[in-house]
């Protein structure tokens, strides 16, 4: 099972492609991996900000790409779509890559 530092390292190596192909301008990790509470079945929660509007299909494609490079299920949450009641908590917890 990967830890937060390994996940950050893998994502960092792909930042140019994440920008060029998926218009990602900011990316961070939050959730169980940040709190070191992950289990074998945990997904990686990824917070992203896009340079321009993207479709649901593009978000799913990004999730699949990140899942492939990380070897674990990924849940992508666009920064602008965070539920209001969770926004402060997630933004404080998120670790930038």
Helix (H, G, I), strand (E, B) or coil at 20: helix
Residue 23 has pLDDT above 80, yes or no: yes
Residue 1 has pLDDT above 90, yes or no: no
pLDDT tens-digit readout, 52-95: 999 999 999 999 999 999 999 999 999 999 999 999 999 999 99
Q: Which fold has domain 4-96?
A: Beta Polymerase; domain 2 (3.30.460)
**Helix (DSSP H) and strand (DSSP E) numbers for the chain:** 4, 4
Residues in the chain: 97
Contact 14, 69 (CB under 8 A): yes
pLDDT at 2: 87
Distances in Å between the Cα of 91 and the Cα atoms of 6, 11, 18, 41 are 21, 19, 20, 24
Domain-wise residue ranges, the chain = 4-96
Work out the percent of the chain whose per-residue pLDDT is above 70. 100
């Amino acid at each position: 099972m990967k830890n937060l530092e390994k996940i950050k390292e893998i994502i960092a190596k792909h930042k140019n492609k994440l920008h060029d192909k998926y218009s990602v301008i900011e990316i961070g990790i939050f959730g169980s991996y940040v709190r070191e509470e992950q289990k074998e079945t945990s997904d990686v929660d990824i917070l992203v900000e896009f340079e321009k509007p993207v479709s649901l299909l593009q978000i799913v494609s990004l999730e699949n790409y990140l899942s492939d490079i990380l070897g674990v299920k990924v849940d992508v949450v666009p920064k602008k779509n965070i539920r209001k009641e969770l926004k402060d908590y997630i933004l404080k917890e998120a670790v930038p890559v």
